[in-house]
């Protein structure tokens, strides 16, 4: 039976470290770090994520400024707000909640954020610094995953790691951070041939695909460490019956509540094979917000 990598507990620890860092600043007579969060439109999931981030700020002593813009905001208005926040010396970090409403160019908006305030780590300058192994803001999800893996003492040097997914937000930076720790890394994606065979070679498997239950138990090397970044809502009972065969409680929730959250890995099957695994929910999700708080504290120290 696999060890559960408790992302929620580890995130609490990271948040406690941030809180201590904020208190140390205040004790030196410095102001609290400040994160500006920009939300355009009323996407319910984005509203939930923003609430979570604002709450984490409150819990750690970081000041948060919420900027809510209407759904019909145009690119010029959004970028003008970003410029205003860039030049505001009282703001340390700027986060534009994604996805943006249709018609807005997310990349162009993100590229407007001053790299020093880009606490999501999505700006090309920060991505370039990561590529070069130089200090800069790292994307929150992969950097927090690394923080947890190190805390659990997961061996990284010389490890054969497979990262499923090549997004700029998770897959690519995850692979680079693992490489920085001397893992031997393969990045897989939708055109990869023989995904199951490749996964079976991995001592460390990171799934960041967004396909519920894609990774079957039989794809996992016995004893491997599995990090499941995917967050998917499943409402289709036929799919649930396939992917939750080894998780009767999840299937039950799906049938009674009409939907259930799950990762990219078939958790019940993987538990039997893996050496350690992150659950969904309660695994990587809470780590991401903790990573954001870390980046915001760091931005205030620049
Ligand atoms: P993207 O959609 O940007 O990228 C998905 C990647 O998965 C792509 O590289 C795609 O390949 C690959 N892929 C898709 N289908 C397959 C397949 N059948 N086989 C192999 N590879 C495949 O997603 P994100 O990286 O933004 O997010 C991935 C998941 O992580 C999502 O579920 C998301 O909700 C979750 N997430 C969770 C976070 C957290 O806090 N826990 C934070 C961020 C994301 P290709 O490039 O070829 O299209």
Does the pLDDT value for residue 1 go beyond 90?
Answer: no
Crossing angle between the packed helical segments 284-301 and 140-151, to the nearest 10 degrees: 100
Sketch out the chain's domains with CATH numbers: 30-114 (3.40.50.10860), 140-285 (3.40.50.720)
**Listed residue (272, 266, 271, 204) closest to 240, CA to CA:** 266
Task: Render pLDDT for 83-106 as a digit per residue (tens, 0 to 9).
Answer: 999 999 999 999 999 999 999 999
**Listed residue (189, 194, 226) closest to 211, CA to CA:** 189
**Which residue of 14, 167, 197 sits with most ligand 1 atoms within 8 Å of its CB, as the best mutation to test the pocket?**
167
Task: Render pLDDT for 215-239 as a digit per residue (tens, 0 to 9).
Answer: 999 999 999 999 999 999 999 999 9
The C-alpha atoms of residue 128 and residue 148 are separated, in whole angstroms, by 24
Task: Render pLDDT for 270-294 as a digit per residue (tens, 0 to 9).
Answer: 999 999 999 999 999 999 999 999 9
With a Cβ cut-off of 6 Å, ligand 1 is lined by 141, 164-167, 169-171, 188-192, 195, 208-211, 214, 229-232, 284-285, 288
Residue 101 phi, psi dihedral angles, 5° rounding: -60, 155
Task: Render pLDDT for 45-95 as a digit per residue (tens, 0 to 9).
Answer: 999 999 999 999 999 999 999 999 999 999 999 999 999 999 999 999 999
User: How far apart are the CA of 64 and the centre of ligand 1, in A?
Assistant: 29
Cα separations in angstroms, 50 against 64, 65, 156: 11, 11, 33
Task: Render pLDDT for 148-171 as a digit per residue (tens, 0 to 9).
Answer: 999 999 999 999 999 999 999 999
Does the pLDDT value for residue 185 go beyond 90?
Answer: yes
For the CA of 192, the nearest atom of ligand 1: 20
Compute the Cα dihedral for 34, 282, 152, 133 and give only its sign. negative
Task: Render pLDDT for 249-260 as a digit per residue (tens, 0 to 9).
Answer: 999 999 999 999
Residue 75 phi, psi dihedral angles, 5° rounding: -55, -40
């Amino acid at each position: 039976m696999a060890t559960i990598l408790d992302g929620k507990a580890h995130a609490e620890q990271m948040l406690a470290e941030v809180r201590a860092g904020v208190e140390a600043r205040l004790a030196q007579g410095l102001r609290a770090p400040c994160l500006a969060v920009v939300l355009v439109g009323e996407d319910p999931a984005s509203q939930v994520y923003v609430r979570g981030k604002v709450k984490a700020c409150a819990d750690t002593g970081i000041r948060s400024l919420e900027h809510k813009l209407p759904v019909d905001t145009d690119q010029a208005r959004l970028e003008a707000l970003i410029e205003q926040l860039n030049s505001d010396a009282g703001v340390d970090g700027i986060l534009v909640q994604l996805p943006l409403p249709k018609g807005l160019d997310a990349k162009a908006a993100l590229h407007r954020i001053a790299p020093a305030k880009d606490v999501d780590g999505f700006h090309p300058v920060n991505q370039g610094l990561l590529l070069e192994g130089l200090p800069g803001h790292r994307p929150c999800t992969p950097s927090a995953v690394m923080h947890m893996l190190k805390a659990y003492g997961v061996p990284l040097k010389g490890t054969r790691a497979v990262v499923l997914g090549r997004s700029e937000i998770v897959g690519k930076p995850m692979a680079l951070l693992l490489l920085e720790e001397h893992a031997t890394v393969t990045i897989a994606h939708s055109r990869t041939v023989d995904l199951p065979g490749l996964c079976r070679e991995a001592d460390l498997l990171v799934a960041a695909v967004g396909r519920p239950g894609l990774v079957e138990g039989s794809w996992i090397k016995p004893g491997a460490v599995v990090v499941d970044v995917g967050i998917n809502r499943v409402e289709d009972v036929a799919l649930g019956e396939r992917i939750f065969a080894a998780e009767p409680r999840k299937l039950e929730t799906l049938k009674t509540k009409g939907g259930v959250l799950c990762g990219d890995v078939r958790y019940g099957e993987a538990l039997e094979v893996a050496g350690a695994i992150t659950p969904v929910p309660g695994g990587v999700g809470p780590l991401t917000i903790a990573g954001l708080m870390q980046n915001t504290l760091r931005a205030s120290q620049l």
